[in-house]
Amino acid sequence: MNFPSELKYTKDHEWVKVEGNEAFIGITDFAQRELGDIV
């Protein structure tokens, strides 16, 4: 598995990446597979 060091993860398969005073959020590949299509 690949865990980029610049990302911080939650137990619910979400991640956050902080760059300066901006933050980017997302979900892991596992969460994407489990959720399926988002409509």
**Closest C-alpha to 23, from 31, 35, 13, 15:** 15
pLDDT above 90 coverage of the chain, percent: 77
**Closest C-alpha to 9, from 27, 30, 31:** 27
- For the entire predicted model, the pTM comes to 0.75
pLDDT above 70 coverage of the chain, percent: 97
Helix (H, G, I), strand (E, B) or coil at 30: helix
Overall number of domains in the chain = 1
CB 16 within 8 A of CB 7: yes
Token duo for residue 1? 């598995």
Q: Which domain holds residue 15?
A: 1-39
H or E element in which residue 8 lies? strand 8-9
